[in-house]
Structure 1
């Protein structure tokens, strides 16, 4: 049995992994796939890849490209979710801010430096024609930290996946002012260079198993009910989310990678571009 460590956010996108593990689909192929939930998100996942705490990660596209260019010894092995991520832009329910424009020059809560929540603040600022040099950040680690920071006015707004955050909107904790979509595929699968060098066949086997799962995920009987129950979401919200979500079973190609890098460079999220060989495997 080959033990492989994998990490990702505890969100509905990753239920295919959980179901495949629970159904022994990896075990049956001689792989002990050990999943770790990482609520802190992309910045923490990047650290785990760098430190050898995980072999694989399901991670936001923009965050890992930035971190690989900064020296993370990992490579993109595949697109996982092709559809864009919908980031809700939230304020405290009783906040004085009423419109997106009101948030100009205010402080954004982010999980940590280099996280998707920070990088998307740059995307949003660019979309609104705000000077990005004026962006201010408060590190809050998790969504619970964001609740506290916005309530205590340590930060003014918080960007997080719209549907995972909606229960807090429904409860009157947050108020959502608008959405901001990623202009690229939302999640990709990344492997450490060490794993790719020493166990490339295992990486391919893991991909084959998860691709089989995601290809038929929407056809699983009562899957929307399962998602609603597990992630404490209203059924109608899950139905909207799943209708907008498209998993991928394809590797990233050079054209797509260059397009994403060009967008990140234009947004000043990265200050240099890498070659395909630096960032991904074919």
Structure 2
């Protein structure tokens, strides 16, 4: 097939992917997608004007939610889970507008309006996981715990919570967000970790034959990341908006697997269970076996 087109979210987690291309012959078009996992899922299905992707690296919850909803709707999404990219959970910051003195804690958000990058994105899914953790979801009620406002990329979300009436809060990765509450643009009022490994690799079924080589190249990029932490910090601080201190602190918290090939069924089934409990998934959403399209060879 022609050169793979790989979509990724341009944050610090993408560093091993950059190393795989720079040093280990990953011959692919790497395309940054700042609007998040919801856009990645849409482009894997070729459902946007931006063109299709062959492979996407994004948040676990966004892909599993999308695949489950497709199954419940009787739709073939054309892609599946292919690899586990990050083994550690993701810490989400919960932020409100800088001037919102009425919003001082997570409890104050119930019944408000959450800004999300896109319906189905990680920011959307995790808002419901947050609601479930707070006991805001009532299975007997059709009313949501809060109103959802699809806004767009990270910059648009920050603007939205400072626009009176547009939204009350949004959620985004902790280290990416911290700069903006430290400079006073937004206010952090809490955090919540994902109850699953945070990042996975998804791929269209048509790209299956190219996956073994792709996974091997990413594995080498991950190994380089682990063996050269100073270079990783330099790459992050020189190409993205992170301070050296933030990059070094993040390096202490993140865990990439030694081998990204394949996805554990138990992890996916656990995520499905939690997403069903949170009300993100409903009906017959399938199982891990139906969502995983690339299994590691024994």
Same fold (TM over 0.5): yes
- Distance of 1:221 and 1:87 partners within structure 2: 24
Q: Which residue of structure 2 aligns with residue 15 of structure 1?
A: 15
Q: Report SS of the residue matched to 2:45.
A: helix
1:83-130: CA deviation from partner (whole Å, max 9, x where unpaired): 111110001111121111111111111001111111100011111111
Give the ranges of 4+ consecutive aligned residues of structure 1 lying more than 3 Å apart after TM superposition: none
- In the TM superposition, what are the counterparts of 1:55-204 in structure 2 within 5 Å? 55-69=54-68, 70=70, 71=75, 72-96=77-101, 97-131=103-137, 133-153=144-164, 154-196=166-208, 200=209, 202-204=210-212
User: Is it true that 1:50 corresponds to 2:40 in the alignment?
Assistant: no
How many angstroms does 1:11 deviate by?
Answer: 0.5
Unaligned runs of 5+ in 1: 27-31
Q: Which residue of structure 2 aligns with residue 274 of structure 1?
A: 286
- Distance of 2:145 and 2:278 partners within structure 1: 14
Q: Which residue of structure 2 aligns with residue 232 of structure 1?
A: 241
1:193-244: CA deviation from partner (whole Å, max 9, x where unpaired): 1222xxx1x2110101101221341321522233223222122221221111
1:169-200: CA deviation from partner (whole Å, max 9, x where unpaired): 1221011111111000111001101222xxx1
Q: Report SS of the residue matched to 1:160.
A: strand
- Distance of 2:265 and 2:286 partners within structure 1: 11
Maintained 8 Å contact 2:4/2:28 = yes
The count of aligned residue pairs is 273
- Distance of 2:114 and 2:174 partners within structure 1: 16
Maintained 8 Å contact 2:37/2:62 = yes
Maintained 8 Å contact 2:237/2:243 = yes
Q: Report SS of the residue matched to 1:179.
A: strand
Counterparts in 2 of 1:138 and 1:221: CA distance versus 1, 3 Å: closer
- Distance of 1:254 and 1:218 partners within structure 2: 26
Q: Report SS of the residue matched to 1:189.
A: strand
Q: Which residue of structure 2 aligns with residue 38 of structure 1?
A: 33
- Distance of 2:288 and 2:169 partners within structure 1: 35
**TM-score by structure 2 length?**
0.87
Judge which range, 39-48 or 257-266, deviates more.
Answer: 257-266
Which structure has the higher relative contact order (CA within 8 Å, separation 6+)?
A: 2
Q: Report SS of the residue matched to 2:89.
A: coil
